[in-house]
């Protein structure tokens, strides 16, 4: 596997570039992405399915930076979008409309209209009400909207509660029991062209049996529909492929592809996948500086210049990202246990307790691993700290792909109403 982040003479590099030089040039906190790591993940996925690769619609919610989308689009990736804004990003990054799928439980009228006019591959429809709305909008435009129905297979994937999406009490999809009737209805609704079936059972899943249970239910439904004379053309299996955040074994890609192939053989459907995390998580780090080392009577805190405003996953899901010192310790150097926190005024601004690290002085650099997915996209202006900037590394080439949002820029859209302006 391609290793984007490696130590050379105890210095952490991204591809051919020392992270220290990036911190000097662009400041911290800084997201650093390896283009070749993304390419390697994409190719590994395609190769696992050779000679019949699926259409990989990159779930751009994982990392919507235009340069990231473009890197994958140039390899042939499509996009899975969940809003009009994401659709705009995908198109601006050069993803062909006919490779874009549009999911999400709350598509607005404006978003639906735009997506129809763009000519996307399909809407992944999440409810009976949405089906009617898309059909009505398409008819009003004199168009036909291509759709797949997203079914909820009622499978509890073994993952974090907050990122499981395929259980019957989750808000996503159409209950699989009531799906056949809705497929029949969809097949006859003017304004629609029924193309396929979609499901997505959650994120950060390693257990192939979870995928297989859900996919078996979807395939059984496809067969039932075909038997009733409702022919589908596409099966969209969603994303959810797991990535290691610490020392977990990598995702069993070959095993996954083998299971998918075995389950879908002979169906005659075009396969779509919607991985997000799998393509970009390990391709990114969040580079931060140490502000302070604080000792209290009971704990030792390492305070960084990035907190939950920059990387929210630990506060949101209790996720833990491994942390690399940018300068690796010598073999005989003493290590200390620290609680790693950000500067934000919340006790939940805690990356984790008991990280074992060399003694780091203010100004020292550290990098959170596996930060390329669901990192910058969830960053906020909370506490009015400058946002992280983003850099793309490609071999020895470096580009700033998003400038830091300083407080001035954060306040740009704000306005004090006239009646609050004091006239002296």
Ligand X SMILES: Cc1ncc(COP(=O)(O)O)c(C=O)c1O
Count of alpha carbons within 13 Å of 396, Cβ hemisphere only? 0
Tokens of 212: 């297989």
Smallest gap from residue 2 Cβ to ligand X (A): 19
Q: Which is nearer to ligand X, 63 or 264 (CB)?
A: 63
Smallest gap from residue 41 Cβ to ligand X (A): 11
* 55 counts as binding ligand X under rule CB under 6 A: no
203, 289, 309, 370: which one contacts ligand X (CB under 6 A)?
Answer: 203
CA torsion sign, 108 to 114 to 119 to 120?
negative
80, 195, 282, 349: which one contacts ligand X (CB under 6 A)?
Answer: 80
CA-closest candidate to residue 307, choices 347, 359, 278 = 347
CA-closest candidate to residue 122, choices 152, 104, 148, 153 = 148
345 is catalytic: yes
Candidates 199-207, 255-263, 347-355, 356-364; binding stretch for ligand X (CB under 6 A): 199-207
* 275 counts as binding ligand X under rule CB under 6 A: yes
Cβ proximity of 340 and 293 under 8 Å? no
Provide the 10 A C-beta neighbour count for residue 112.
Answer: 21
Quick check: bond before 325 cis, omega within 30? no
Candidates 87-95, 198-206, 354-362, 385-393; binding stretch for ligand X (CB under 6 A): 198-206
37, 62, 283, 311: which one contacts ligand X (CB under 6 A)?
Answer: 62
In angstroms, rounded to a whole number, what is the distance separating the alpha carbons of residues 323 and 304?
Answer: 12
Smallest gap from residue 243 Cβ to ligand X (A): 9
**CA-based Rg of the chain, rounded to a whole angstrom?**
23
Smallest gap from residue 62 Cβ to ligand X (A): 5
173, 238, 307, 325: which one contacts ligand X (CB under 6 A)?
Answer: 238
Number of residues that bind ligand X (CB under 6 A): 17
Pairing mode of beta strands 365-368, 350-358 = unpaired
Hey, which residues are catalytic here?
A: 345
> Which residues are near ligand X by CB under 6 A?
59, 61-62, 80, 103, 200, 203-204, 238-241, 274-278
């Amino acid at each position: 596997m391609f290793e984007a982040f490696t130590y050379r003479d105890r210095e952490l590099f991204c591809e051919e570039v020392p992270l220290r030089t990036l911190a000097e040039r662009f400041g911290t906190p800084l997201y650093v992405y390896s283009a070749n790591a993304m390419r390697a993940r994409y190719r590994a996925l395609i190769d696992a399915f050779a000679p019949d690769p699926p259409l990989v619609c990159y779930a751009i919610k994982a990392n919507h930076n235009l340069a990231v989308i473009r890197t994958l689009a140039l390899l042939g990736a499509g996009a899975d979008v969940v809003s009009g804004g994401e659709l705009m990003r995908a198109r601006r990054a050069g993803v062909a409309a006919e490779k874009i799928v549009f999911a999400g439980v709350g598509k607005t009228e404006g978003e639906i209209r735009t997506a129809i006019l763009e000519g996307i591959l399909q809407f992944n429809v999440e409810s009976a009400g949405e089906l009617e709305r898309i059909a009505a909008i398409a008819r009003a435009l004199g168009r036909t909207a291509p759709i797949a129905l997203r079914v909820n297979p009622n499978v509890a994937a073994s993952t974090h509660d907050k990122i499981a999406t395929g259980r019957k009490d989750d808000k996503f999809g159409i209950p699989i029991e009531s799906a056949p009737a809705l497929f029949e209805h969809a097949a006859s609704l003017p304004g629609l062209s029924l193309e396929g079936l979609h499901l997505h059972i959650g994120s950060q899943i390693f257990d192939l049996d979870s995928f297989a249970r859900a996919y078996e239910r979807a395939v059984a439904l496809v067969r039932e529909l075909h038997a009733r004379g409702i022919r589908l053309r596409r099966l969209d299996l969603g994303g959810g492929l797991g990535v290691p955040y610490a020392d977990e074994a990598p995702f069993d890609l070959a095993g996954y592809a083998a299971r998918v192939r075995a389950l879908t053989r002979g169906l005659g459907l075009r396969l779509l996948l919607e991985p997000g995390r799998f393509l970009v998580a390990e391709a990114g780090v969040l580079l931060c500086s140490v502000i302070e080392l604080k000792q209290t009577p009971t704990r030792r805190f390492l305070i960084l210049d990035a907190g939950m405003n920059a990387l929210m996953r630990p506060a949101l899901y209790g996720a833990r990202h491994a942390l690399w010192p940018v300068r690796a310790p010598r073999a005989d150097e003493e290590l200390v246990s620290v609680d790693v926190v950000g500067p934000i005024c919340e006790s939940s601004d805690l990356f984790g307790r008991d990280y074992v690290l060399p003694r780091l002085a203010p100004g020292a650099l550290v990098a959170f691993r596996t930060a390329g997915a669901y990192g910058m996209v969830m960053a906020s202006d909370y506490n009015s700290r400058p946002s992280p900037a983003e850099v793309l590394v490609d071999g020895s080439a470096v580009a700033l792909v998003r400038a830091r949002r300083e407080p001035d820029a954060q306040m740009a859209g704000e306005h004090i109403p006239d009646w609050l302006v004091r006239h002296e």
